[in-house]
A and B are shown apart, each in its own frame.
Chain A
Amino acid sequence: MTSPATVSIARPAREDFARSQRVVWASLPVSLSEGPGEARLLAVDGRLPDWLDALAAAIRAGLAGALVVRPVAGPSAPDIRAVADAATDAGTTVVVQTAWASNPAVPQLASAAAKQVPGIRLVDSLVQVPGDSAGQWADVLLDHLALLRAMSWPLDAVHFATHGANGYTVSGRQQATAVTMSAVRSTPGQPAVRMAAYGATGEAHLVVPAGDTAAPAAAWIVDQTAETVQPTRYESAARASWRRLYGAAAERSGEPAADLLDLADDAECVAAITKKRGRA
Chain B
Amino acid sequence: MSGQLGVGILGAGPVTQAIHLPTLARLPDLFRVTAVMDVDAQVAESVAARAMAEPAQSVQAVLDNPSVDVVAVCSPPRFHAEQVAAICAAGKRGILCEKPLAATSGEAEEIRRAAEAAGIPLVVGAMHAYDPGWLAAFDACAGWFDGVHTIRSTIVLPFNDRFEDWATQIARRPAPAANSGTPSPQERAQRIRGLVLGLSVHNLPLIRAVAPTLDRVDHAEFLTPFGGVISAVAAGRRVDLVAFMRPVWRPDWRLEFWGEERSLSVSFTPSYVHAGPASVTITDRHGERRLATPAHNGYQGEWMELHNLVSAAATPRYPLSTVVDDVAFAIDVADAAASAVLSGGPQ
Say if the beta carbon of A65 comes within 8 Å of chain B: no
Say if the beta carbon of A162 comes within 8 Å of chain B: yes
Q: Known: A121-B246, A227-B250. Is A167-B150 also a contact (CB below 8 A)?
A: yes
In the bound complex, residues from chain A placing their C-beta under 8 Å from that of B98 are none
With beta carbons under 8 angstroms apart, the residue of A182, A189, A201, A202 that contacts B152 is A182
- Contact residues on A (Cβ < 8 Å of other chain), bracket: 35 or more
In the bound complex, residues from chain B placing their C-beta under 8 Å from that of A198 are 156, 244, 246, 248
In the bound complex, residues from chain B placing their C-beta under 8 Å from that of A162 are 218, 231, 238
CB of B235 to closest CB in A, whole Å: 12
Residue total for B at the interface (Cβ-Cβ under 8 A): 36
Say if the beta carbon of A1 comes within 8 Å of chain B: no
Which residue on chain B has the smallest CB distance to residue A160?
B219
Which residues between 243 and 276 of chain B lie within 8 Å of chain A, taking CB atoms? 244, 246-250, 252, 258, 260-263
- A159 adjacent to B238 (CB under 8 Å): no
Q: How far is the CA of A120 from the CA of B251 in the complex (A)?
A: 17
Say if the beta carbon of B149 comes within 8 Å of chain A: yes
In the bound complex, residues from chain A placing their C-beta under 8 Å from that of B229 are 122, 124, 171, 178, 180
Chain B facing A: main interface SS: strand
Which residues between 190 and 245 of chain B lie within 8 Å of chain A, taking CB atoms? 218-219, 221, 223-224, 227, 229, 231, 233, 238, 240, 242, 244
With beta carbons under 8 angstroms apart, the residue of A164, A180, A227 that contacts B238 is A164
CB of B116 to closest CB in A, whole Å: 37
CB of A239 to closest CB in B, whole Å: 28
- B258 adjacent to A160 (CB under 8 Å): no
- B150 adjacent to A160 (CB under 8 Å): no
Say if the beta carbon of A213 comes within 8 Å of chain B: no
Of all A-B residue pairs in the complex, the 10 with the closest CB atoms, nearest first, are A160-B219, A166-B149, A280-B238, A184-B150, A222-B250, A184-B258, A169-B231, A187-B283, A187-B263, A180-B229
Q: Using a CB–CB distance below 8 Å, which chain B residues touch chain A?
A: 149-150, 152, 154, 156, 218-219, 221, 223-224, 227, 229, 231, 233, 238, 240, 242, 244, 246-250, 252, 258, 260-263, 283-285, 287-288, 344, 346
Q: A169-B238, A224-B249 are in contact. List 16 more A-B contacts (CB 8 A).
A: A124-B154, A126-B152, A128-B258, A131-B260, A162-B218, A162-B238, A167-B238, A180-B240, A182-B152, A184-B258, A187-B263, A190-B283, A196-B156, A223-B248, A224-B247, A280-B233
Q: Using a CB–CB distance below 8 Å, which chain A residues touch chain B?
A: 121-122, 124, 126, 128, 131, 159-160, 162, 164-167, 169, 171, 178, 180, 182, 184-190, 196, 198-203, 222-224, 227, 277, 279-280
Contacts A/B (CB < 8 Å), 11 sampled:
A165-B149, A167-B149, A169-B231, A178-B229, A184-B150, A187-B261, A187-B284, A189-B288, A198-B156, A198-B246, A199-B248
